[in-house]
């Protein structure tokens, strides 16, 4: 009987540690304005999805803090990672582009583009005025 009591005590202790870990992770996500989700919590803690749904204390804390997050602008770890990857890709492409076209050629093309834009807007105005006069 004594062995059984030790096993039960160890199981309760482990459960309390897991509960504390889960609640700490939830509170940390809340403080850092990271969207609280079970998927993200399982990644952070290594605990199962079922633990977050089946443990009443953890579920209550999670639901309360998720409710407090309603209407707030939150960070999504996935979108943060995607944004960083996109920034790196943009910098890489800009670097390749700057290497491929000499700066003087780029500036000349930019000037031509602006001149053509100006001529186009003048032509458009002239066409519209002629159409207006014909009415």
**106 lies in the same domain as 65:** no
Residue 81 lies in a domain: no
Domain end: 44, 69, 94, which one?
69
pLDDT of residue 129: 62
pLDDT band at 86 (very low <50, low <70, confident <90, very high): confident
Report, as an integer, the average pLDDT of 58-68: 91
pLDDT band at 63 (very low <50, low <70, confident <90, very high): very high
Contacts of the segment 107-111: beta carbons below 8 A, 24+ positions apart = none
Residue range(s) defining the domain that contains residue 115: 102-134
Domain end: 69, 86, 121, which one?
69
Q: Could you tell me what percentage of the chain is helix, strand and coil, using 3-state DSSP and rounding each to the nearest 5?
A: 85, 0, 15
CB 36 within 8 A of CB 71: no
Lowest-confidence segment of 17-26, 88-97, 121-130 by average pLDDT:
121-130
Lowest-confidence segment of 28-37, 38-47, 66-75, 114-123 by average pLDDT:
66-75
Q: Which of 30, 52, 31 lies closest to 43 in space, CA to CA?
A: 52
pLDDT of residue 59: 92
Query: Exposed, middle or buried: residue 40 (CB in 10 Å: 0-12, 13-18, 19+)?
Result: middle
Domain end: 69, 92, 113, which one?
69
Report the domain count for the chain.
2
Residue 78 pLDDT > 90: no
**7 lies in the same domain as 52:** yes
Report, as an integer, the average pLDDT of 4-24: 87
More confident residue, 77 or 110: 110
């Amino acid at each position: 009987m004594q062995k059984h009591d030790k096993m039960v005590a160890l199981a309760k202790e482990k459960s309390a540690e897991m509960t504390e870990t889960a609640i700490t992770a939830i509170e940390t996500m809340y403080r850092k304005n990271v969207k609280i989700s079970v998927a993200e919590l399982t990644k952070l803690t290594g605990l199962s999805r079922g633990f977050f749904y089946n443990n009443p204390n953890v579920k209550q804390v999670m639901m309360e803090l998720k409710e407090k997050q309603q209407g707030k602008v939150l960070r999504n770890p996935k979108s943060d990672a995607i944004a960083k990857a996109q920034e790196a890709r943009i910098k890489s492409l800009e670097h390749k582009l700057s290497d491929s076209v000499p700066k003087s050629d780029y500036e000349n093309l930019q000037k031509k583009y602006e001149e053509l834009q100006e001529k186009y807007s003048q032509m458009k105005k002239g066409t519209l005025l002629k159409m207006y006069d014909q009415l």
